[in-house]
């Protein structure tokens, strides 16, 4: 039984602000999670996921048990379950979208077992319900990227018709997501090694916004400005300018309080080794950093690897691999 793999993600602009209605831009990491074995089971779901140290079923007392249980009830059709084993190329809690990738893959696998034909928008909608168990009230950006992949402009509310004027051809993936046709420069992603909890980081920002609504909205508005500036530069291939936009966004995330000493250290290392820009990607507080390094990809990757960080090369929206 073959199941299409799901994607990881790297957010370039708009994390956190997207939860409060601002747009975000991210890209998928194809083949991040793959089903290795799948067979139908009569009445429950059993998952083996070594990357998460998990081997259990829907009666497991933890979060994953809850997710598997919800999945079984959520999908329409015959009440069939499944046993599956999943290989993950991304670590959990690294800001690279592992929970969304798992949610999409679980939906696809059970749909296959139950003989359901679900289009991508429906897969995404169901995966989002599972993401809510992981993260509370996520924006939907991660599950959108895990499902559709490519370079994507997303916002929580529907995009108007006609679509906003964009610097590149865009196609509607869903009411909230537009797929962008643009060439990506060489980038590098590095893992701080410190796991984070998206739910916790989002809650931190929510409380900050409650305490300081005006200041926080100003930061979000600035983040949105960085996004449009960055998108223009990306589409025109103006890498130096794109680097400045990424650096500005990192500064704003620091002011928002979601950076960390580990993130700051990776950002500094990247800039010192020739990156044009670098910022945290995802919820922050640990997790991963993305660096724009056309022509200096190897230097940045080597510097991060030497400092003990897991590192990936990103060569466009279809090609990413572990740096050795
Ligand atoms: C997490 O990958 C991205 C956040 O913006 C949360 C969300 O969009 O739900 C921090």
CATH superfamily membership of 186-322: GHMP kinase, C-terminal domain (3.30.70.890)
Instruction: State if residue 138 touches ligand 1 by the CB under 6 angstroms criterion.
Output: yes
Question: Residue 9: what pLDDT?
Answer: 97
How far apart (Å, rounded) are the C-alpha atoms in residues 180 and 121?
17
Active-site residue identified among 55, 142, 143, 232: 142
Q: How confident is the model at residue 317, as a pLDDT?
A: 77
Q: Where are the domains of the chain?
A: 6-148, 186-322
What is the tens place of the pLDDT at every residue in 254-301? 999 999 999 999 999 999 999 999 999 999 999 999 999 999 999 999
Is the CATH number 3.30.230.10 carried by domain 6-148? yes
Q: How far apart are CA 34 and CA 197, in angstroms?
A: 23
Tell me whether strands 45-49 and 151-154 are parallel, antiparallel or unpaired: unpaired
Query: What was the pLDDT predicted at 215?
Result: 98
Cα(215)–Cα(196) distance, rounded to whole angstroms? Answer: 25
Q: In this predicted structure, what is the pLDDT of residue 58?
A: 86
DSSP run (H or E) holding 78:
none
pLDDT in tens, 91-110: 999 999 999 999 999 999 99
pLDDT for residue 108: 98
pLDDT at residue 324, as a whole number: 74
Q: What 8-state DSSP symbol labels residue 204? A: H
* pTM of the full structure: 0.97
* Active site (annotated) includes residue 119: no
Q: Which residues of the chain register pLDDT less than 50?
A: none
Give the orientation angle of helix 213-236 with respect to helix 198-211, to 10 degrees: 120
Ligand 1 atom closest to residue 201's alpha carbon, by position in its atom list: 10
| pLDDT score for 277 | 98
> Angle at CA 223, nearest 5°, toward 217 and 226?
150
């Amino acid at each position: 039984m073959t199941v299409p793999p799901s994607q990881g993600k790297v957010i370039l602009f708009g994390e956190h602000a997207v939860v409060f209605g601002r747009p975000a831009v991210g890209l998928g990491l194809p083949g991040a999670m793959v089903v290795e074995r799948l067979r139908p089971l009569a009445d429950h779901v059993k998952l083996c996921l070594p990357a998460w140290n998990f081997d259990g079923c829907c009666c497991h007392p933890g979060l994953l048990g809850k997710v598997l249980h919800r999945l079984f009830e959520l999908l329409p059709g015959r009440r069939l379950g499944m046993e599956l084993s999943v290989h993950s190329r991304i670590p959990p809690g690294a800001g690279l979208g592992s929970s969304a990738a798992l949610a999409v893959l679980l939906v696809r696998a059970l749909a296959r077992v139950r003989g359901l034909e679900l289009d991508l928008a429906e897969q995404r909608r169901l995966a989002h319900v599972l993401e809510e168990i992981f993260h509370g009230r996520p924006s939907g950006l991660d599950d959108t990227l895990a499902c559709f992949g490519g370079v994507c402009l997303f916002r929580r509310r529907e995009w108007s018709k006609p679509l906003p004027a964009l610097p590149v051809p865009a196609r509607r993936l869903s009411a909230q997501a537009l797929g962008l046709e643009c060439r990506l420069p060489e980038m590098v992603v590095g893992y701080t090694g410190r796991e984070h909890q998206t739910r916790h980081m989002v809650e931190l920002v929510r409380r900050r916004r409650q305490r300081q609504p005006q200041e926080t909205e100003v930061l979000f508005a600035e983040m949105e400005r960085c996004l449009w500036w960055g998108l223009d530069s990306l589409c025109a291939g103006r890498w130096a300018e794109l680097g400045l936009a990424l650096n500005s966004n990192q500064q704003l995330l620091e002011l928002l309080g979601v950076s960390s000493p580990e993130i700051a250290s990776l950002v500094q290392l990247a800039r010192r080794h020739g990156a044009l820009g670098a910022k945290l990607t995802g919820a922050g507080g640990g997790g991963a950093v993305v660096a724009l390094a056309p022509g200096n990809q190897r230097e940045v990757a080597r510097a991060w690897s030497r400092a003990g960080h897991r590192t990936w090369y990103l060569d466009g929206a279809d090609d990413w691999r572990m740096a050795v």
